[in-house]
Amino acid sequence: MKPITLRARLLAGIVLLVTLGLVGTDVALYVTLDSYLKARLDDDLAATAEELRQNIDPTFQGDNGFEIAFTFPARLARPASGALMVTPGRGDDIALATGGGIRTYEESGDGGLGARFTRGEVPVGYSYLDIEGVPSRVLYRQFDDPDDATINRAFSGVVVVAPRDTNQGTLNQLLVTEVIASGVALVAVAALSLAVIRIGLRPVGAIATAAAAVAAGDRDQRIPAPRRQDEIGRLAGVLNQAFDQRRTAEDQLRRFVADASHELRTPMTTIQGWADLYFQGALPQPDGVEVAMTRIAEKSAEVGVLVEDLLLLARLDERRPLEQETVDVAALAAEVCADARVLDADRPLTLDDPGPATILGDPERIRQVVRNLVGNAFRHTPEGTAVRVAVTTVSDRVVLTVSDDGPGIPDADREHLFDRFYRGSTTTPSRAGAGLGLAIVKAIVQAHDGTVLLEPGRGTTFTVSLPGA
């Protein structure tokens, strides 16, 4: 089944809402006019009944054929209009009084209309009756004021009748007008809405075209920036940012793969070279073989360390959950400093240990942060350069500081210092690593919701801030 387009859904929704609004308005208008016409008809009937009551001759005894001098109001003077004088006794003659050429009904006996009122079959007040097949509105008003001397006691009440066809005709005319007007309005709204939707969704087509081009491999394709900054404009801007970030990520991935391949190629080439010499018999026996095996082992270990670092960065990039336990950063720093003194006993290394400074995190990863920072200071400063490690607690955070009195880091290198496989411009080949140490430090610290900064000033100072436990 072909999916319904967004344009069709929007148009259908607008048409539905407008239709509901028009129907509701038409119904409300119809009901309001119907109530008004009914109320006006009831008022006319009440006024007519009162006028008729006042025109009754108190001496009239209800002779058949007697006609009271009375004229119906213009709005009520229609065929089937009339007035009945109701007598107290059953079967008495009922005098019907009308004027202005209105038909006169003369009914008597138990089956007549007057008898129905006399027997109480019709309630006092307003009601609806079919009189000679004509739907009519009827007002039955009894003469119940015994002190009124003007009332002819031969009659018990008066009935005023008016057909409802006038009201219904007006309502029918309104209904036809509403249907035509609502239909025209609905068609106009649908046409206008379709035009507006087409114009409004035109940028969406451009977005889809650009996205398809990017998906097909055109990394330079971008969405034309709309002139208006509405939802579509913001969407286009966000997608362009996403395309830029994707391109940047792909470029970084390509550089990462190229750098990793380069870093692996050097030790692997060394291993292959020594192995080729061995198989060619070009190594002197036995010292040459021992040297070859030693170099192969060293380079294999170097490859292993590089692979482990790459795997660690990959796991951190995937945001895999780290171990969560209470870690004393001060105790870890003391252990790392003790190991560093064994490797370089002549290096001045001091530790400012104020006592326990605990965080919640992965102890091995935090140990690696301290080890990488201390090792970086040892590797990139001249021999004998003092290195200082400090662990402090500031508010609810644990701060680790590793500083040295070396030549510092050039401004040109500071921006890229935490990039992967980046080596500073002053790094000597003999002391150069793979360029992953500080990148690993940053990734681990960020995984623990912390920050790592290179402080300005003389020498080199790294500050790591981690949330305390």
Instruction: Determine the pLDDT at residue 405.
Output: 87
Cβ proximity of 30 and 208 under 8 Å: no
Which residues does residue 326 pair with via DSSP β-bridges, in sequence order?
Answer: 360
Tokens, residue 20? 């509901």
Return the structure tokens found at 177: 């007008």
User: 325-467: which CATH architecture?
Assistant: 2-Layer Sandwich (3.30)
In what helix (H) or strand (E) does residue 389 lie, and over which residues does it extend? Answer: strand 387-394
Tell me the sheet residues that pair with 157: 86, 142
What pLDDT is stored for residue 401 in this prediction? 92
Helix (H, G, I), strand (E, B) or coil at 424: coil
Give CA angle at 379 (375, 380), nearest 5°: 120
pLDDT on residue 424: 65
Tell me the C-alpha distance between 361 and 464, whole Å.
14
The neighbour count for residue 414, using CB atoms within 10 Å, is 13
DSSP code for 468: B
- Phi, psi for residue 468 in degrees, rounded to 5: -75, 160
Helix spans in 158-286 (H): 165-215, 231-279
Q: How far apart are CA 204 and CA 169, in angstroms?
A: 52
How big is the chain, counted in residues? 469
Query: Amino acid identity of 124?
Result: V
CA distances from 278 to 184, 287, 299 (A): 96, 12, 16
The DSSP call for residue 110 is T
pLDDT of amino acid 101: 34
Intrachain domains 231-317 and 325-467 with the same fold: no
Q: Which residues contact 13 (CB under 8 A, 6 or more apart)?
A: none
pLDDT of 220 reads 78
3-state secondary structure of 137: strand
Q: SS3 for 233?
A: helix
C-beta neighbour count of 250 within 10 angstroms: 11
Helix (H) or strand (E) holding 402: strand 397-404
Q: pTM, whole model, 2 decimals?
A: 0.50
Tokens of 197: 């939707």
Q: How buried is residue 442: exposed, middle or buried, by Cβ count under 10 Å (0-12/13-18/19+)?
A: buried
User: So what's the pLDDT on residue 41?
Assistant: 87
Amino acid making up residue 367: R
Taking a C-beta distance cutoff of 8 angstroms, is the pair 61, 153 a contact?
A: no
Q: In DSSP terms, which residues pair with 137 in a beta bridge?
A: 128, 162
pLDDT at 85: 57
Question: Which one, of 296, 382, 366, lies nearest residue 331 by Cα?
Answer: 366
pLDDT score recorded for residue 97: 43
pLDDT at 15: 93
444 secondary structure, DSSP code: H
Residues 6+ apart with CB under 8 A from 157: 86, 117, 124, 140, 141, 142, 143
Domain ranges of the chain: 9-171, 231-317, 325-467
**Tokens of residue 302, six digits:** 């170097």
Rounded to 10°, the helix 363-379/329-343 angle is 40
Helix (H) or strand (E) holding 398: strand 397-404
Cα distance between residue 171 and residue 169, in whole Å: 5
Determine the pLDDT at residue 13.
Answer: 92
pLDDT in single tens digits along all 469 residues of the chain:
677 888 888 999 999 999 999 999 999 999 999 999 999 888 888 888 877 777 665 544 444 444 444 555 656 655 556 666 555 543 334 444 444 433 334 443 444 555 566 566 666 688 887 766 778 788 877 765 555 555 545 556 777 778 887 788 889 999 999 999 999 999 999 999 999 988 888 778 888 888 888 878 787 777 777 666 777 778 888 888 888 888 887 777 777 777 777 677 777 888 888 888 888 877 777 777 888 888 888 888 878 877 887 787 777 777 777 888 999 999 999 999 998 888 888 889 899 877 788 899 889 889 989 988 998 888 888 888 899 999 998 888 999 999 998 888 887 778 778 887 777 655 544 455 567 788 888 989 998 899 999 888 778 899 999 998 7
Per-residue exposure over 448-468, b if at least 16 CB sit within 10 Å of its own CB, e if not: bebebebeeeebbbbebbbeb
CB 138 within 8 A of CB 122: yes
Class of domain 231-317: mainly alpha
Structure tokens at 113: 């209309």
Q: In Å, how far from its chain's centre is CA 323? A: 35
